[in-house]
Amino acid sequence: MKNFNSIETIQSELFEHQYVAQRDLATSIFLSLNLNKPLFLEGEAGVGKTEVGKVLASILGVPLIRLQCYEGLDVHNAVYEWDYPRQILHLRMLEANKISTKEMEEAIYSRKFLLSRPLMQAIENQDNRAPVLLIDEIDRADEEFESFLLELLSEYQITIPEIGTIKAEIPPVVVITSNRTREVHDALKRRCLYQWIEYPSFETEFQILNLKVPGLDQQLSHQIVTNVQRLREADLFKAPGIAETLDWGRAVQSMDMKTLDEETINATLGVVLKYQDDILQVQEHRITQHMDEQSHS
């Protein structure tokens, strides 16, 4: 794994991989890598938390193992599962050979019948490279699921009752994200370095848009970022994230537009806003007209 001797090096590497990071985030990443501590990223949806894990895997040149959290996620989907069909077939073969019950249990609960899920895969490191483990949107999982993570995050190991403890020879780089739809338990947060990520400033988002959508007219870039930032100030159900800014840039670029007028803004609002109530609110309060005026001021 690469060694980074300064926060500036981290920022530079992130930028080379098209991620614009403020110094506080670069500092947290630097400390996470050097202290071998999980990084817990929290913030509104669309501020670039998931992208940190992806970019880190690219920078480090290691595999990315992603666990997408959801309600009902349990140990069988996240950690490991027994291959029951193969176990049954093997058990029948053992019975035919009149093997003792104890020997049967030892035989069917062996490593070869264990199916590794993302958390186990991150611990095993079969190719001798520490992967980046991205545990995405932990707040979507049930609170009980967090208990599965405590041993992993503190000792980089997983205990399987039938086999014992499996410990990582090379600890993975762990990035955990949360949109804060619920509070994550303190016991989990204490095992991590914490970083809140805000929506980017105008200057940063303008830089991101030009970096990610090369060739976009500079005036158009300015108008898009201005309008997105104004939309975030409105009382919307779902404010647009950076991904929507980039999508809007690509959309108007594909339309060969050089400037945003009210008609174009209204026609492309579905690129930026994902709820009809939000679109209606923007139109009813004539935010699009105001945006258009601002775009040409």
Examine the fold and report which residue of 197, 226, 244 is the final residue of a domain before the chain moves on.
197
Q: Are 67 and 131 in a shared domain?
A: yes
Say what the pLDDT of residue 290 is. Answer: 46
Q: Are 17 and 154 in a shared domain?
A: yes
Say what the pLDDT of residue 143 is. Answer: 87
Examine the fold and report which residue of 167, 197, 227 is the final residue of a domain before the chain moves on.
197
Q: Are 173 and 65 in a shared domain?
A: yes
Q: Are 227 and 287 in a shared domain?
A: yes
Is 152 a domain residue?
A: yes
Q: Are 225 and 283 in a shared domain?
A: yes
The residue count of the chain comes to 297
Q: Is the pLDDT of residue 171 over 50?
A: yes
Q: Are 108 and 124 in a shared domain?
A: no
Is 151 a domain residue?
A: yes
Q: Are 259 and 213 in a shared domain?
A: yes
Is 42 a domain residue?
A: yes
Residue ranges of alpha helices (H) inside 99-217 are 101-108, 118-124, 146-155, 186-189, 202-212
Say what the pLDDT of residue 243 is. Answer: 94
Contact 38, 153 (CB under 8 A): yes
Is 2 a domain residue?
A: no
Q: Are 190 and 207 in a shared domain?
A: no
Examine the fold and report which residue of 155, 179, 197 is the final residue of a domain before the chain moves on.
197
Residue 156 φ/ψ, nearest 5 degrees: 50, 50
pLDDT (tens digit per residue) in 140-151: 999 888 888 888
Is 85 a domain residue?
A: yes
Cβ-Cβ contacts under 8 Å for 152 (sequence gap 6 or more): 119, 123, 158
pTM of this prediction? 0.87
Q: Are 31 and 178 in a shared domain?
A: yes
Taking the C-alpha atoms of residue 23 and residue 28, their distance in angstroms, rounded to an integer, is 9
Taking the C-alpha atoms of residue 265 and residue 154, their distance in angstroms, rounded to an integer, is 49
Q: Are 40 and 139 in a shared domain?
A: yes
Number of domains in the chain: 3
Query: Residue 130 sits in which domain range?
Result: 7-74+117-197
Residue 129 φ/ψ, nearest 5 degrees: -125, 130
pLDDT (tens digit per residue) in 209-252: 999 999 999 999 999 999 999 999 998 999 999 999 999 999 99
Is 1 a domain residue?
A: no
Q: Out of 104-108, 174-178, 188-192, 229-233, pick the least confident.
A: 104-108
Say what the pLDDT of residue 225 is. Answer: 94
Q: Is the pLDDT of residue 64 over 70?
A: yes
Is 18 a domain residue?
A: yes
Is 208 a domain residue?
A: yes
Cα separations in angstroms, 285 against 52, 278, 279, 294: 36, 11, 10, 15
Q: Are 257 and 131 in a shared domain?
A: no
Q: Are 152 and 237 in a shared domain?
A: no
